[in-house]
Structure 1
């Protein structure tokens, strides 16, 4: 990855960035990256690529799946003795 050095940031902005980093327990670098991504419209997170890969279910698909696995969720007490 490439690096960018930023000089001459307004002290008020720097304090705000440091405050956000401290309160969110994130690095200053991470906070600045999130601000840049928000500003330039990149609304993805590491998890979003997984969401894209796995897809999503409609309410009907989720309900059908739950129904199809109901028998797997029953516990056979005799089996565990």
Structure 2
């Protein structure tokens, strides 16, 4: 991945970027990248989570699907004592 060095940034802008970084818990690099992606219109590409490709390959469940699954296997968590004698 390419690197870019920024020179001549106004101190006020640097301070604002650092404040955003602290407040959001994101790295300076991430904050600046998000600004660039948002400005250039590529922000949708960056919003895809790293796990998205695996989820697409393996499939994913919605919260509703997961709840239905766990509800359907509840009986498997019960022990029938008569079967273990």
TM-score, normalised to structure 2's length? 0.62
Residues 1-80 of structure 1: pairs in structure 2 closer than 5 A: 1-42=1-42, 43=44, 44-47=46-49, 50=52, 53=56, 54=59, 62=65, 66=68, 70-74=71-75, 75-78=77-80
What is the deviation of 1:32? Answer: 0.2
What is the deviation of 1:48? Answer: 6.9
What is the deviation of 1:39? Answer: 1.2
Question: Structure 1 residues 70, 56: closer, same or farther in 2, change over 3 A?
Answer: closer
Q: Mind listing any 5+ residue stretches in structure 1 that lack a counterpart? A: none
Question: Structure 1 residues 71, 55: closer, same or farther in 2, change over 3 A?
Answer: closer
**How many angstroms apart in 1 are the aligned matches of 2:51 and 2:35?**
19
Q: Mind listing any 5+ residue stretches in structure 2 that lack a counterpart? A: none
**How many angstroms apart in 1 are the aligned matches of 2:27 and 2:52?**
24
**How many angstroms apart in 2 are the aligned matches of 1:69 and 1:20?**
40
**How many angstroms apart in 1 are the aligned matches of 2:38 and 2:61?**
24
What is the deviation of 1:15? Answer: 0.7
- The count of aligned residue pairs is 75
